[in-house]
Structure 1
Amino acid sequence: MPDLDPTPGVRADARRNRRQLIIATREAIASRGLDVSALDIATAAGVGVGTLYRRFGTKEALLDYVVLGHYDELLDTARACLERADPWDGLAEFVMELAGAHRDSRGLAEVTAACEKPPVPERTQRTIALQDAVIQLTERAHAAGALRADVTWQDILICSRAALDVDHCFGVDAGPNGWRRIVTILLDGMRAPGRTPLEGPTPQVHRAR
């Protein structure tokens, strides 16, 4: 994700402040979600609130910038996974990476759960691009006979969120990497051949073009 001000001639201290605001925002939404104040972000970045507004205009614009950075990182991951020689390995790697991204950032998990139209067109564009990448990953795995025929790309996206609430249950502690076990079990359940027919309709898609 870019961390420099795109405006030519910006002073080094202004670029540094911008970078610190971006880092602080990523860390804040990772642990606390999107419900974080401009003051908290600015304090963590070591700057005044006025600097945040001068550099980004609004807190929401800063949050959007950081979220778009997460989306771009996921798109880069998806493109790399599409280059894997083994279609199943590419699909499985992306699912694990997406699940990990959801685990690592509460704010990202909140954003990707929303089905209403994104507030900025850039997020709509990236959402569609990510969906298209997952469609390609799914089609490759289907064509190779590695993915059970009744598993859709929509199922794959939904399954990537399964790692979000798997830490504790009835006194059982999954441990820091327990979520990886859960995702691995889910991936094995998606491999061909599938033995139990899937019930219910395919998850619906909300596309805002």
Structure 2
Amino acid sequence: MPSAERPERPPRADARRNAARVLTGARQAVAAHGLDVSYHEIARRAGVGVGTVYRRYPERGELMEAVLLDLLGELTAGAERALSRGADWPAFTRFFTDLALRTGGNAGLSASLDDRGGPRVAAARRQLLELLRRLTERAQRVGTLRPDLCWYDLPFLAKAATSGAGVLDLSADPRRAERCIRVVLDGMRPPAAGPGQEGPAAGPP
């Protein structure tokens, strides 16, 4: 009689460490260079051999999916925290600041995520955007966010606030980025009541 199948052994500690290092290195490389970054650059940032990256993620799509799900999951968790803390302006600003810093500093988020990450990434992106819509509309209902904004505007405003490391030979630093975010947030507050106020902007086509 055939012997019973042995249960799968859990990965060794060093294999788990290498897997974590590969994912961290891939996130850093994608942030700097986008989703077309080479496995050699990922391996360099992870501090492992390129063979380790290929063994862990033989398919590029699988690795890019893991990177994007990790990043979108963090943004989604931040949006959920903001929604759970009540309709106050500080909760909204914390989420917007996190969104701005991550989108401004991550080249991978400028790519077509649905095409490059597969259906799980597409679902995660839609979930994040739905939370963004709810945050925007709640802030407008309580009067903390100007009514002529659409939720669709917010990712563009977030990216514009931290759109690059420098301009005209002037280098940016984290404090400068945070200052720009504060200026953008100030502009998102409701204007003084008066005639001729525009209605909400149009959303996506």
TM-score by length of 2: 0.81
SS in 1 for 2:104: helix
Q: Identical aligned pairs, as a percentage?
A: 33
> How many angstroms does 1:31 deviate by?
2.5
Q: Which runs of 5+ in 2 are unaligned?
A: 1-7
> How many angstroms does 1:94 deviate by?
1.0
Structure 1 distance, partners of 2:180, 2:131, is 23
> How many angstroms does 1:16 deviate by?
2.0
Structure 1 distance, partners of 2:172, 2:199, is 28
1:61 corresponds in structure 2 to: 62
> How many angstroms does 1:183 deviate by?
1.8
1:199–1:170 distance in 2 versus 1, CA, 3 Å: farther
- Offset from partner CA, 1:138-163 (integer Å, 9 cap, x none): 12111111111111111112211113
Which 10-residue stretch deviates more, 114-123 or 157-166?
114-123
Which 10-residue stretch deviates more, 139-148 or 117-126?
117-126
RMSD: 2.8
> How many angstroms does 1:116 deviate by?
6.0
Structure 2 distance, partners of 1:121, 1:149, is 33
1:204 corresponds in structure 2 to: 204
* Paired residues of 1:25 and 1:41 also in contact (CA < 8 A): yes
Structure 1 distance, partners of 2:51, 2:152, is 42
> How many angstroms does 1:51 deviate by?
2.7
Structure 2 distance, partners of 1:132, 1:200, is 17
1:203–1:16 distance in 2 versus 1, CA, 3 Å: same
Structure 2 distance, partners of 1:33, 1:16, is 24
Task: Give the structure with higher Rg (CA).
Answer: 2
TM-score by length of 1: 0.79
SS in 1 for 2:143: coil
> How many angstroms does 1:166 deviate by?
5.3
* Paired residues of 1:52 and 1:58 also in contact (CA < 8 A): no
